[in-house]
Amino acid sequence: MVDTHHGHKPRTPASHRSRRWFMNKALLTGGVSAVAIMGGYAAASAGAEESTTADATASASPSGPPSGGGFGQTIAYDDFVGVTTDGTVVDDLYAIHSTGVSTTPVIRAATAFLDSLTDDQKAATLFEVDSDQWLDWTNIDSNDRDGVALRDLTEKQYALGMKLLRASLSARGLKQSNSIRKLNQFLGEYSGDTTKALNEDAYWFTVMGTPSATEAWGFQFEGHHLVINYFVLGGQVVMTPTFMGSEPTKITYDGTDYHLFREETAAGLKLLRSLNSVQLATALSTETKAGTNLVAGAGQDNAVLPYAGVQASDLNRRQQQLLLDLVEVYVGYQDEGHARVRMREIEKHLDDTYFYWIGEYEDDSAFYYRVHSPVVLIEYDAESPLAYHEDDDSSGSASPSASATTTASASPGGGGPGAQGDPTQQHIHTIIRTPNGNDYGVDLLKLHLETDH
């Protein structure tokens, strides 16, 4: 076992959190300069010339921000409330219980990975179980991250890190994560720079607490378009928030055909198309699809988001099953046993689950949808291009000469395309959360400390 206190770090300083605030805000506004988004904080700190739009972005409004949601602001762990519908947490939703599913494989994998690290690597990677580090994540391509990066690991350490992901995720989840990383490499080659955060190994591990069969602990795997938060307490697992995205999503690269988020897209369309005219009128927003509509992304841990759309209690049995099938696409990225546990939790609140849609619903339409209940929040958002433009490189092969051109103004919120043009299925962001206080396993940790200590 590893001594967490050896690598304990103080709470994230305000200066660090403010950097994440700027980057998260830039992400949510949708249309930003190449330096602000495609170079991330790392590009600026490396001496890249900042455009005036980075400052303009900081005052732009995002499309569809949650009222009182803490716009893009990374908060401290002690200030965490979680996503709510009105600012008030619904109590007694979560409990410490036996799942009948072992967490031994992930405990062993995490322990082996940590044991392989040097003292300096452990010092950078280990945090207390209630650390601000949990909340200090971003999905943009930044090198401003804590922990140990895949690119800095030895071959043995790298293999053990991958074994930890394999133990935590389903086969489908591991494939999705690896594909996201691979297309991040493509994007670096396409943009002409793989030396910073646009490569498949610019992903960081941090571990909170000590891997244990009885005590709470967890890890975070974080990089561009991929953030996995994995909390463990006994046989219970909370794998939220998990952010997955990609630009592009459909391409042939390095001899392999990729089509990410095909299941998420198809399952959403299938459910929507099953609705009758009355249900459809309730599910569909009158809002025009914007360049970005994601609400509960990075820096939105305390988002206030009222229910919207059609309620599952107004769906027939087949439609309710299609809704559960859609949820399972996202839940099914974690290991199969704990995914089943999670689905049972979600099914208990099926009648109080809402399905909401913005945009058209043709096969190739760019749209946004949301599944929202007391215990799950899922968002899917087809967004405006930021770095990849199909017109530049229709063959799908990476070329430095085909680097992306981005404009300098941010998109106003509330409708219309982003500054980079119409939203497209070639740039998709998704997130799954556990509302009412149990993202990062916070509610379970509180219960654990109250009842077992």
pLDDT at res. 223: 98
Q: Is the distance from CB of 381 to CB of 424 less than 8 angstroms? A: no
- CA-closest candidate to residue 26, choices 16, 17, 35, 15: 35
pLDDT at res. 61: 27
Read off φ and ψ for residue 397, nearest 5 degrees. -100, 140
Q: What is the pLDDT of residues 162-190, one digit of tens each?
A: 999 999 999 999 999 999 999 999 999 99
Q: Give me the mean pLDDT over the 1-24 stretch.
A: 42
Q: Give me the mean pLDDT over the 316-328 stretch.
A: 98
Predicted TM-score of the model (pTM): 0.85
pLDDT at res. 181: 98
pLDDT at res. 167: 98
Q: Which two tokens stand for residue 239?
A: 């794998």
Q: Give me the mean pLDDT over the 264-269 stretch.
A: 98
pLDDT at res. 265: 98
DSSP line for 173-222: HHHHHHHHHHHHHHHHHHHT--SSSSSTT-EEEEEES---SSS-EEEEEE
% pLDDT > 70, the chain: 77
pLDDT at res. 391: 73
Q: Which two tokens stand for residue 326?
A: 């859609």
pLDDT at res. 453: 57
Q: Which two tokens stand for residue 4?
A: 């967490």
